[in-house]
Every structure is written in C-alpha cells, then in structure tokens.
Chain A
Amino acid sequence: MLLSSDVPRILIADDESPARVRLRDLLDECRESFPLAIADEARNGREVLDVLNREKIDIVLLDIRMPEIDGMEAARHIAGMAEPPAIIFTTAFDSYAIKAFEVNAIDYLLKPIRVERLLMALGKTRAAPPVSRQALDAASNLPRRHLSVHERGKIILVPVADVLYLRAELKYVTVRTAEREHLVEESLTHLEEEFADAFVRIHRNCLVARTAIAGFERNAEESESGWAVVIKGTGEKLPVSRRQHSIVKQFR
C-alpha cells in the first residue's frame, strides 16, 4: 500500500454539486489502476487558487464555466506558479473553448465523463509537461479579471479594476493600486493587448487605467511632451511621451 503522500493529490473544481459528486465516483473507480487521493473540492476559480495556496495539489480537474473566476482564468494564474499542478479541463459544452483547445493542443474532458477517458487523462499528467501559459493565453477570448502576483509560492490576485497603472521596469511590470505596488512577470505589450479596453498607453513603459486619469498637467519635469497624467487618488504624475501626446487631446 502506498502512503497517501506518494499518490497524486487531486482537486475537483466545479460549481455544480452533482458534477463534483460524479467526479468523486469516477475517481474512486480509477483508484485501482491509478492510485490517487482526492484532496479537496472547489466551486469557482478563486477557491481553486485558495486551495493551491493552502495545500499541495498535483492534478486539478477544472471546469471551464464557473462563476466569478472561471476555469480558463484560474488556469492562466496557475500556469504562473513555480511548480504548477497538472490541469485537466472539463466542460459539458462550450464550442468556443473546445475549438480554442483543439487549436492550441490543450487536452480536455467532455461531460458526462467516461471513466476510461478520465484514466487516460490522469495517466497523461505523469508524462506530459504542464500546459503552457502561452497556449492558455492564446485559447482565451476574454481578458482576465485579475492579475496574479506570485509571492513566496502563493498566488495573490489583484483585481484589474483596482489597478491604477502598469509600469514596465527591466524584468518586471509594477502593478500600482491605490493601496500598494506589486510586481508581476508579464510583458507590457501583452498586457496592453489583453486590456486594450481598460488601459491606455501614455509612455513606452507605462499603461494607465482610463478610469484612473484625474487630468493632465503641463510643464511636467522629465516629460518629453511637456505633459503628465495626474493619477486619481494618489495624485502621482506620470510623464506622457511625445509619441503618445495625442491622448492628451483625446481625454481633455
């Protein structure tokens, strides 16, 4: 008999209780040929990340459509972890996601799930590398609602709606909220593409949330264009580059 610490620990994530019950039944059937431990259950993406912050999980059975933070967004946060668990997506029907998964070679299980298919997917997690962040980003059609900050092996979620501005510095991007600053390992260009509706570029190294712009100030120091954006709440002044000068007119 194996010790429970030696077998893969599985997290079941689905917002529907019968779906979780069903997965438990199926996993119990898999035990014989694939020793495993059912570690926990989660009802949405946030609970998934909470569990991952709390305990060691090897495999997440992740439903795509869940309230608040859906499976797709949760997976994108998970992929940023140093040692991410393997993810097996589950879905009843989602024509967009299925197409995107096929294109990006991401594996998924269709509900109702057959035990044979589940066993195969569990087996694959041993050999296959975890799904890459790039593939997940490419498969998503919606911007994330949160940015994930990875600090000491924990995932901290920063709601995109709370972000005042994003500033690139060397390897990282600084995420500024009203309360504090975070560092994320992302590219400013990708962030600009993903959140094109909510953010506007004011400088080669800076994106500002449209809702965080309090106004513009003239004759700002170290600003090529002579203009600076004043940030709501904090009153910080961020230089506007000559190339982005047109946004001053656009907002005034």
Chain B
Amino acid sequence: MAKLGTVASINQTGAGIRLPNFCNLGVMLRSLLIVNLLLVAAAAIRSPSVGGIWLEFLVFAAFGEPVLMLSLVALCAARRWLHAMGYVGALAALAAFEILVGWFVYGAAGALVPERSPMPFGQVMFLVFFVTAVTLAYFDLRTRALSPAIAEARIQALQARIRPHFLYNSINAVLSLIRSEPRRAERALEDLADLFRVLMADNRTLVPIANEVELARQYLALESLRLGERLKVTWRIETMPADALVPPLVLQPLVENAVYHGIEPSEAGGEIEIDIARAGGQLAMVLKNPFPGGGRHSSGNRMAIVNIRERLQLHFDVEASMRSEVKEGTYTVTIRIPYITQPG
C-alpha cells in the first residue's frame, strides 16, 4: 500500500477534490456497483424478455468487467499524473483511455467469442463512454456533497481535541507551581503552548504518527502534573513506523478520554497502555485503560469516539476501522488504518 502514494478517499486540494482516489477500496467498490447497475439496465433494455436479462447481462459483464478492472488498476497507478493535469485535462485523458481500453477488450472479446453476434462497435463505445461519464459524475457529486463535511470535520476536530476541563485544570496546576517550582511551571507552559500550536493548526492533511505520539506525550506530561502517581503510562511503540501518516489528533483525544474516564474517577489511579505497530499493510493503534464502571461520566466519551470515527471515514472511507470494547474492567479501543507514507 505504501507505494500507492496519496491517501484520502477524497483529496482536499485542487483538481484532486473532484477526482476520486481510485486506489481506495471504498471508491473501487462504489465503481463496481455503479458500473454493474448500469450494465443490468442496459441488459434489461436489450433483452426481449424478462428471462433473457440474465443472459444479456452476462454478455455485457464479460465485456464490462475486464474494462472496469483494467481501468481501476491503471487509474490507481496513474493517479498522480492525472492530478497533475487538472480536472478537465484528467477527464479528457480518462475518456481517451477508456475508449482505448474499450476498443482493446472489444477486439479481444470478438476474437475469443466469435459466434456471439457482437454489438456494433459504435454502440459499445457509446456504452463505455456513457458508463464512465456517469461514474465520474457520481464521484464528483459525492465529493461536493461531502465537502461541507470536510470543513465541518476540521471544526469538529477543533472541538474534539481538548476538554475545557483539562485546559483550566492544567492552568490551575501551573499556577500552583509558579511560586514553589518555577522551572517545572516553565516546562509545563511550554508543553501547553506546543499542544495548542497543534490544536490551532490547519488539521486537514495527514501527519506522521511520530508527531501524534509526541503530542500525546506532552499532553500526558501535563496530566501527570495534576494527577501525580495516579497516572501510569506504558508505551509499546518500538516497532512503530514513525513515518506512517495518520489523521491529526487521532491519538491525543483517545488518550485524553483514557485519563478522564479511566484514571481520574479512581482514587488509586491506573495504567494506560498504548501499542502502535505495523500489521502488514495496516497501522494498528491499540489503547487500553481501566474502566472503573458505574458510567458516571460517560457522555463525553461517545462524542470523541464518534468524531474520530467520522474523520477516519472521511480520510480512508471503508479502509479504516475503529473498535472499542469493555472487557473485565478494561476499556480497549483499536484503530486500524492503511499504512501509508509521504509520497516521494
């Protein structure tokens, strides 16, 4: 997956915003569905009887599926060039390419299945052209429909990030240090500043996981100022690929949740465990914290989870997953996203 370059199911800049990412599983599935639905429709029109639709569809599919598969593979491989052309240029290139593929497959099919009376070449080309146009139009519309959601996701990210509870308690903790331990107070204010620098930044593009880990560490340093020995953290990230790209603020809100729901309600405190590792073509993040139960402060929890899930979906469509479960007094949240790195 790493070679395939860019990332999101929707690109958020320039021409990219209107062209889907053909490497994304969600885009592939959607293309498959649309093309096949159109083939069914075409079969229904051509078939003289209801019973004949199936046979007619098989003929279309024998031609259509190879075209589709070849197109998807080629478009996935060529997407960086397509993006460089701009939307109109990319459309023209795409149309030319589809006709080429259509012509090739038409020829190959004619050679392989000669006894089947073939449709006239012009009709086949029209079909290829029409199906391509409808599919692209669908993705264009979908992107337009989702683009407010992208803007929204940014705002949501802002909101999900930091609980006011944390901000004011941290400032309070720093205030308490100023007289007795000015050095530690300085250090804490620096951490707070770094944290907020990231929070205030434009958070639409993916960032290396190493940055997210650093952010979570600074956040935890501030929390341990308040919570002292009640907060224990274990990091298991030795095998983490530091260059893996993730949506910004995917880790810190989860860690904050763990502190808020797992550590603070307990007198004795507890341990937060964070595992990040590469698993084949995926990056897996697993976060565990004690779950004191009682559900006394549970309303904020779902918010952050929903928010992260939405942003993962916007960035990776169906290729990302997020699961959370409570088992034997431990809350575990697992995020899996495609392992991708900065292209070039």
Which residue in B172, B225, B267 is a CB contact (below 8 Å) of A43? Answer: B267
Asked, given contacts A21-B180, A67-B266, A112-B175, whether A16 binds B227 with beta carbons under 8 Å apart, the answer is yes
Partner of B172, one of A18, A44, A68: A18
B228 within 8 A of A: yes
Interface residues of B (CB under 8 A from A): 163-165, 167-169, 171-173, 175-177, 179-180, 225-228, 264-267, 296-297
Interchain CB contact under 8 A, B266 and A19 = no
- Which residues of the partner chain B approach A242 to less than 8 Å between Cβ atoms? none
- Specify which chain A residues have a CB less than 8 angstroms from the CB of B171 in the assembled complex: 112
The 5 closest A-B pairs by CB, nearest first: A22-B176, A92-B168, A18-B176, A18-B173, A93-B164
Main secondary structure, interface of B, reads helix
| Least Cβ–Cβ distance between A17 and chain B, in angstroms | 6
- What's the tally of chain A residues with a CB closer than 8 Å to chain B? 21
A interface residues, Cβ below 8 angstroms from B: 15-19, 21-22, 25, 43-44, 65, 67-68, 92-94, 110-113, 142
Q: Which residues of B contact A68 (CB under 8 A)?
A: 267
Provide the main secondary structure of the chain A interface.
Answer: loop
Q: A16-B226, A67-B266 are in contact. Are A22 and B165 (CB under 8 A)?
A: no
A111 engages B266 (CB within 8 Å) = no
In the complex, the answer to whether A110 meets B168 with C-beta atoms within 8 Å is: yes
Return A18 CB to nearest CB of chain B, in Å: 4
A142 to B266, CA, bound (A): 17
Assess A16 versus B173: contact at CB under 8 Å? Given A68-B267, A93-B164, A93-B165: yes
Task: Provide 13 A-B residue pairs closer than 8 Å at the C-beta atoms, listed in order of the A residue.
Answer: A16-B227, A17-B228, A21-B176, A65-B297, A67-B264, A67-B267, A92-B168, A93-B168, A110-B168, A111-B172, A112-B171, A112-B175, A142-B296
A residues less than 8 Å from B225 (CB atoms):
18
Q: Which residues of B contact A18 (CB under 8 A)?
A: 172-173, 176-177, 225-226
- A92-B165, A93-B165 are known contacts. Are A19 and B172 too (CB-CB below 8 A)? yes
Output the nearest chain A residue to B177 by Cβ-Cβ distance: A18
B168 lies within 8 A of A94 (CB): no
Q: A67: which B residues are within 8 A, CB to CB?
A: 264-267
